[in-house]
Structure 1
Amino acid sequence: MESLQVSDYMNTHPVKLNIDMPVAQAVEVLLASGQSGGPVLDTKGRVVGFLSEQDCIAQMIASSYYREQICRVGEIMKTPVVSVKPYMSVIELAQLLLKEKPRVYPVVDDDGVLLGCINRTAVLRAIDVQLNDGYQRAG
């Protein structure tokens, strides 16, 4: 199987959230994008956290129960963030997906600056394309 790199299959236009953003606004961004979560960035574009739909649901339930509306992304984001490099092998990432919980991984450069995101679907697609190419060449 030829080398598949994360950079070839990552989403280069992921949702970008910030620490001070209200969770309600982050939910709107996630819903509008159709993405299940997104990296939280500092002012230099470095990934400092990750916010998932699950994190938002938990907060929205608490907000409705306590009638509190103002919660910031920084208060509920997950840290530390498991991120990957663009030059990482998709097969290596697939093996990581078998062990780790995140469904979406921020793709960062060597300085931690966000380049994109890759999810399980993209990993499956990459492996499927590679396998189909291999079958066509063998046949």
Structure 2
Amino acid sequence: MGIKSFQGVRKVVKKEFDAPILVEDYMTKKLITFSPDQSILTVMEHLAKYHISGGPVLDNNGFLVGIISEADCMKQISESRYFNQPILDKSVERFMTKEVETIPHDMSIFDAAGIFDKHKRRRLPVMKNGILVGQISRKDIVIAALKLSGHNWK
């Protein structure tokens, strides 16, 4: 006759997930911002100086009115060559993207990753109650995923 072992009813152990998974946990909060009347040359200098590829454009009241990127600056460079002129001191407003897609601060990084994939953006402004509170990039999402790689979530 075989040996029987009875351990009783096993307790279900529920794993707690406590790692942060929200955009606000990984976004950049200290931003280099630009104004619509700022010179495109100044923007190019800031992009190079601060090693960034773009940033939000805010009006005098601090509201988001656009986003300027290296790609937008390329338009200026290309245009100046086409017309055989030096890079002119034109304003950001002329080259910035005015219809900016934003995401809420409390969105999960997984949903943000889906937006990056679907819309091919490099950065997204993060809003809370209609106010710009940060910016998240594709790199920020990758860093978040690496931090979460040891966790299980549902």
Q: TM-score, normalised by structure 1?
A: 0.88
Question: Could you list the per-position Cα deviations for residues 41-100 of structure 1 after superposition, in whole angstroms to 9, with x for gaps in the alignment?
Answer: 011211110111011012122124431512110011112101111111111001111101
Partner of 1:120: 138
Number of aligned residue pairs: give it: 133
Partner of 2:50: 33
List runs of 5+ in structure 1 lacking aligned partners.
none
Q: CA deviation at 1:101?
A: 2.0
Give the stretch that moved more between structures: 53-62 or 117-126. Answer: 53-62
Partner of 1:93: 112
Partner of 1:75: 94
Q: Distance between the aligned counterparts of 1:28 and 1:70, measured in 2?
A: 12
Q: Distance between the aligned counterparts of 2:35 and 2:57, measured in 1?
A: 5
Question: Could you list the per-position Cα deviations for residues 77-133 of structure 1 after superposition, in whole angstroms to 9, with x for gaps in the alignment?
Answer: 11210111111111100111110121001112222x22111000000111111113x
Q: CA deviation at 1:3?
A: 5.6
Larger Rg: 2
SS at match of 1:18: coil
Q: Does 1:102 align with 2:102?
A: no
Alpha carbons 2:22, 2:108 under 8 Å: kept: yes
List runs of 5+ in structure 2 lacking aligned partners.
1-16
Alpha carbons 2:75, 2:95 under 8 Å: kept: no
Greater per-residue helix proportion:
1
Q: TM-score, normalised by structure 2?
A: 0.80
Q: Distance between the aligned counterparts of 2:53 and 2:137, measured in 1?
A: 10
Q: Distance between the aligned counterparts of 1:63 and 1:110, measured in 2?
A: 40
SS at match of 1:39: strand
Q: Distance between the aligned counterparts of 1:11 and 1:83, measured in 2?
A: 14
Alpha carbons 1:17, 1:26 under 8 Å: kept: yes
SS at match of 1:96: helix
